[in-house]
Structure 1
Amino acid sequence: MSTVTFSITDEHVGVLKLNRPEAANAFSRQLLSDLNDVLKDVESNNNLRAVIITSEGEKAFCAGADLKERATMTQDEVVETVGEIGKVITRVEALEVPTIAAINGAAFGGGLELALACDIRIASGNAKMGLTETSLAIIPGAGGTQRLARLIGLAKAKYYILTAKRFDSLEGKEIGLIEEVAPLDGLEDKALEVAKQIASNGPVGVKMAKKAIDQGFDHDLKTGLKIERNCYMNTIPTEDRIEALSAFREKRKPSFTGK
């Protein structure tokens, strides 16, 4: 049985699930391989407009690296595996369509780093999270030091990483890491609600908006505005733009095709 599953909901929304609940959905070598295979399918699916990333079970989103497996590795194998985790998380971040992390439980280390690579984070009330690597005498090695600082600011990122502090979803929302907190039994419904809201918008416009934000963020304003304009220009010749204008004029809901 695969350690990662993928299904399509409402034609345009994909749900990717880590499926090792007996091991807190930790990143084993097998899970990393399965996740890469699923991401290949996601990347090639032109009908997708949003992807939810979550996990099976009610206790853990992803506990990070599989420490039992790691204890059997040589130093070189550890370095290689950490590199693989980083690559697959960066692959998630690079998806053209928006991604929503539905954090259904514990998200520590690499598990939180996976959520950080998503565009939007929604967490259940029972979720606990943290970049706790310094308590294990290492540091976040799959993008955590970089993405957390960009999301919540430099000082806060240093505070949470250097103390290895664990925190709940409400604190996560207070610091700007989590966008929504939902009851565990309503988490997937909430994530699906947000995904459908995204999927109802113009697909090209959504992709270009994500690209403009991501690519412009690390540049000065002048360069960022050029990036925004280039992305905007990609929406001008689309059929969806004309459809949106027609729908507005005719007082009806637009029917977007992604063309």
Structure 2
Amino acid sequence: MGFVKYEVQDAVGIITIDREKALNALNSEVLDDLNAAFDNVDLDTVRCLILTGAGDKSFVAGADIGEMSTLTKAEGEAFGKKGNDLFLKIESFPIPVIAAVNGFALGGGCEIAMSCDFRICSENAMFGQPEVGLGITPGFGGTQRLARLVGMGMAKQMIYTARNIKSDEALRIGLVNQVVSSEELLPTAKKIASTIAMQAPIAVRACKKAINDGYQTDINSGAAIEEKLFGSCFETEDQREGMGNFLKKKDDPTKVKHVAFQNK
């Protein structure tokens, strides 16, 4: 994984796209390295992931234009599938993935950030889908996820005009969850990830699956998905410990302590 670094701190994994001289642009090798990094995550010990880019100038500046400039129609479609397959893997990854967006998140950078569960960004972050200015469409899910996140009208305006937006507007339209200083970006993401990692891992995974799967269906089908995943949590050690701990302390709710949940 020459262009991707992976480290684990307690139960939180940090995946860093490390192609700083090219502003962390996504070429085929970077996509392969990212795919390998996600495949190598130990789901028995890691409960939440953070995805970020090396340096403070760019999260991911986009897909590598040098590589794309000579592609044929068939090669372009294959390159789009390569990115889409990876981003769908990230979106459906069993544990939560937080994007810590530092600087540019353009084209493929915006698309990979949107494939994460949610986004925390630095004040100098910049988002956009500038592909029409290059004579192409977004190819790694931008036409699909942006509309789902910010609404069809706003997504069409951003994509049709190739306009980039700053962090404050990204927050206003719901593209990101929180804006912090560059210095506080990783500490903030780590704090949120650690809080997630403290929760019952089986329940967190079930919640992610229920939200993702249910969002693509009508409310009745979504409720049925939730019912099954709700039921799947029962008879687990996490459920017994969590509820047992609560009941022991029910006479004094201020003394309810968090359970050190295990992957069971």
With the length of structure 1 as denominator, give the TM-score of the two structures.
0.96
SS at match of 1:256: coil
What is residue 34 of structure 1 aligned with on the other side?
33
User: Is the counterpart of residue 158 in structure 1 residue 163 in structure 2?
Assistant: no
User: Is the counterpart of residue 255 in structure 1 residue 260 in structure 2?
Assistant: yes
- Structure 1 residue 89: deviation in Å? 1.1
RMSD: 1.3
Task: Quote the Cα distance in structure 2 between the aligned partners of 1:253 and 1:91.
Answer: 31
Task: Quote the Cα distance in structure 1 between the aligned partners of 2:258 and 2:111.
Answer: 37
Task: Quote the Cα distance in structure 2 between the aligned partners of 1:63 and 1:77.
Answer: 21
User: Is the counterpart of residue 207 in structure 1 residue 195 in structure 2?
Assistant: no
SS at match of 2:62: coil
Letter in 1 for 2:99: A
Q: For residues 150-201 of structure 1, what are the alpha-carbon distances to aligned partners after superposition, in whole Å with 9 as ceiling and x for unaligned?
A: 1111111111111111001110000011001010011000000110111111
- Structure 1 residue 75: deviation in Å? 3.8
Letter in 2 for 1:37: A
Letter in 1 for 2:124: N
- Confirm or deny: 8 A CA contact 2:92 2:212 kept in the other structure: no
- Structure 1 residue 252: deviation in Å? 2.5
SS at match of 1:14: strand
- Structure 1 residue 218: deviation in Å? 1.7
- Structure 1 residue 45: deviation in Å? 2.8
Task: Quote the Cα distance in structure 1 between the aligned partners of 2:210 and 2:71.
Answer: 41
Q: How does 1:15-26 map to 2 (within 5 A)?
A: 15-26=14-25
Task: Quote the Cα distance in structure 1 between the aligned partners of 2:230 and 2:102.
Answer: 36
Task: Quote the Cα distance in structure 2 between the aligned partners of 1:20 and 1:179.
Answer: 26
Q: How does 1:213-228 map to 2 (within 5 A)?
A: 213-228=211-226
Unaligned runs of 5+ residues in structure 2 are 250-255
What is residue 198 of structure 1 aligned with on the other side?
196
- Structure 1 residue 62: deviation in Å? 0.4
Letter in 2 for 1:28: N
What is residue 64 of structure 1 aligned with on the other side?
62
The size of the alignment, in residue pairs, is 257
- Confirm or deny: 8 A CA contact 2:92 2:209 kept in the other structure: no
Task: Quote the Cα distance in structure 1 between the aligned partners of 2:112 and 2:240.
Answer: 37
Among the aligned pairs, what percent are the same residue? 38
- Confirm or deny: 8 A CA contact 2:126 2:164 kept in the other structure: yes
Letter in 1 for 2:7: S
- Structure 1 residue 15: deviation in Å? 0.3
- Structure 1 residue 76: deviation in Å? 3.1
| Correspondence for 1:168 among 139, 163, 166 | 166
SS at match of 1:245: helix
Q: Which sits farther off after the overlay, 241-250 or 188-197?
A: 241-250
Task: Quote the Cα distance in structure 2 between the aligned partners of 1:68 and 1:112.
Answer: 19
* Over 4 Å off, 4+ runs: none
Task: Quote the Cα distance in structure 2 between the aligned partners of 1:140 and 1:38.
Answer: 24
- Structure 1 residue 52: deviation in Å? 0.3
Letter in 1 for 2:262: T
Task: Quote the Cα distance in structure 2 between the aligned partners of 1:183 and 1:116.
Answer: 20
SS at match of 1:140: coil
Task: Quote the Cα distance in structure 1 between the aligned partners of 2:43 and 2:21.
Answer: 30
- Structure 1 residue 211: deviation in Å? 0.6
SS at match of 1:5: strand
What is residue 107 of structure 2 aligned with on the other side?
109
What is residue 3 of structure 2 aligned with on the other side?
3
Q: Which sits farther off after the overlay, 30-39 or 242-251?
A: 242-251
Task: Quote the Cα distance in structure 1 between the aligned partners of 2:71 and 2:128.
Answer: 24
Letter in 2 for 1:36: N
Letter in 2 for 1:211: K
- Confirm or deny: 8 A CA contact 2:104 2:125 kept in the other structure: yes
Q: For residues 42-82 of structure 1, what are the alpha-carbon distances to aligned partners after superposition, in whole Å with 9 as ceiling and x for unaligned?
A: 2x432111100001111010011111222244443333222
SS at match of 2:8: strand
Letter in 2 for 1:257: Q
Unaligned runs of 5+ residues in structure 1 are none
